[in-house]
């Protein structure tokens, strides 16, 4: 499984992405807004970025006086310290970091419970964990179940990204599952916020279906962009992505 994931992202580099960017850079304004809403401060902190891709968050961390270390299964060029490794066996001593980031990688880990325990192990007692991950506790989750159960997609491959392109190990994370995994790993304070621009994909994933006419897609996207922020604020489970802050 580990090798299959490595090969997928080596052959599909454009899939190394998230609401924060990741292919050619990072959406710093969005990251700043999310961190502010979750009361996350990276200034002068030592931050570990698990599943870091090309390490673009390193620029954000260093600009605020922090130290950045990234780790990923796939090697990529970067000016920041990057290690090759597995999230379930992090090559760092316990209590090494003030913060741990895992941005749109956790759903691809075969053993999420072991990864969550490792995040807690390397985190200092007063540290924080930031997680960005797809949320399938909504209509998108029902579509995922139907597509994979009825044979249209292999198990754990459907996602409403890039016109429903199959993924490698896209597990159906939900809010309750995330809380359970991280609660069992020793995190006691857990908070989630939704992502307004993706409420449309969470509640109507056909927006990005490959057969959706562009004219209709454009109108639906505009409607979702208008209504999404208010809906996500009240009902964070509606958005396709959830942003989480966990503390010991």
In tens, the pLDDT along 172-188 reads: 999 999 999 999 999 99
Query: Which pLDDT score, from 0 to 100, does residue 7 have?
Result: 53
| Closest to 21 in 3D by CA, of 44, 46, 52 | 52
How big, in percent rounded to 5, are the helix, strand and coil portions of the chain? 40, 20, 40
Query: Which pLDDT score, from 0 to 100, does residue 145 have?
Result: 97
| Mean confidence (pLDDT) of the chain | 90
Of all residues in the chain, the percent with pLDDT exceeding 90 is 76
For 247, the token pair is 């503390």
DSSP, res 117: H
Q: How far apart are CA 78 and CA 57, in angstroms?
A: 11
146-205 tens-digit pLDDT: 999 998 899 999 999 888 988 888 999 999 999 999 999 999 999 999 999 999 999 999
Q: Are strands 82-84 and 97-103 parallel, antiparallel or unpaired?
A: unpaired
Provide the phi-psi class of 102: left if phi over 0, else alpha when psi is between -120 and 50, else beta. Answer: beta
pLDDT category at 53 given cuts 50, 70, 90 is: confident
What DSSP string describes 135-190? --SSHHHHHHHHHHHTTSS-TT---SSTTT---SS-----HHHHHHHHHHTT--EE
Is residue 43's pLDDT more than 60?
yes
Task: Tell me if 239 sits within 8 A of 135, measured CB to CB.
Answer: yes
Higher-confidence residue of 144 and 225: namely 144
For 171, the token pair is 């597990």
Q: Give the sign of the dihedral formed by CA 226, CA 232, CA 237, CA 239.
A: positive
Task: Tell me if 241 sits within 8 A of 198, measured CB to CB.
Answer: yes
Q: Which of 49-63, 160-174, 201-215 has the highest mean pLDDT?
A: 201-215
- Domain map (residue ranges) of the chain: 2-247
Q: How far apart are CA 235 and CA 228, in angstroms?
A: 10
Query: Which pLDDT score, from 0 to 100, does residue 174 have?
Result: 97
Task: Tell me if 9 sits within 8 A of 167, measured CB to CB.
Answer: no
pLDDT category at 28 given cuts 50, 70, 90 is: very high
Fold of domain 2-247: Rossmann fold (3.40.50)
Strand partners, 130: 101, 245
* Whole-prediction pTM: 0.91
């Amino acid at each position: 499984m580990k090798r299959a994931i490595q090969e997928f992202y080596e052959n599909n580099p454009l899939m190394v992405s998230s609401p924060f960017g990741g292919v050619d850079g990072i959406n710093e304004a969005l990251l700043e807004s999310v961190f502010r809403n979750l009361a996350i401060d990276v200034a002068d902190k030592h931050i570990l970025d698990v599943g870091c891709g090309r390490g673009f968050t390193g620029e954000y961390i260093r600009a605020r006086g922090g130290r950045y270390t990234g780790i990923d299964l796939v090697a990529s060029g970067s000016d920041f310290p990057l290690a090759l490794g597995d999230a379930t066996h992090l090559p760092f001593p316990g209590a090494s970091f003030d913060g741990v980031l895992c941005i749109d990688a956790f759903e691809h880990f075969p053993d999420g419970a072991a990864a969550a325990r490792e995040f807690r192990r390397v985190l200092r007692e007063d540290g924080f964990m930031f997680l960005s991950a797809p949320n399938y506790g909504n209509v998108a989750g029902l579509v995922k179940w139907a597509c994979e159960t009825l044979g249209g997609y292999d198990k754990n491959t459907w996602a409403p990204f890039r016109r429903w392109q199959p993924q490698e190990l896209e597990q159906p994370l939900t809010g309750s599952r995330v809380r359970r995994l991280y609660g069992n790993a020793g995190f006691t304070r857990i908070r989630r916020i939704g992502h307004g621009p993706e409420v449309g994909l969470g509640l109507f994933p056909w927006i990005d279906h490959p057969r959706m006419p562009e004219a209709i897609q454009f109108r639906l996207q505009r409607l979702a962009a208008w209504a999404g922020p208010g809906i996500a604020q009240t009902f964070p489970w509606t958005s396709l992505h959830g942003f989480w802050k966990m503390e010991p």
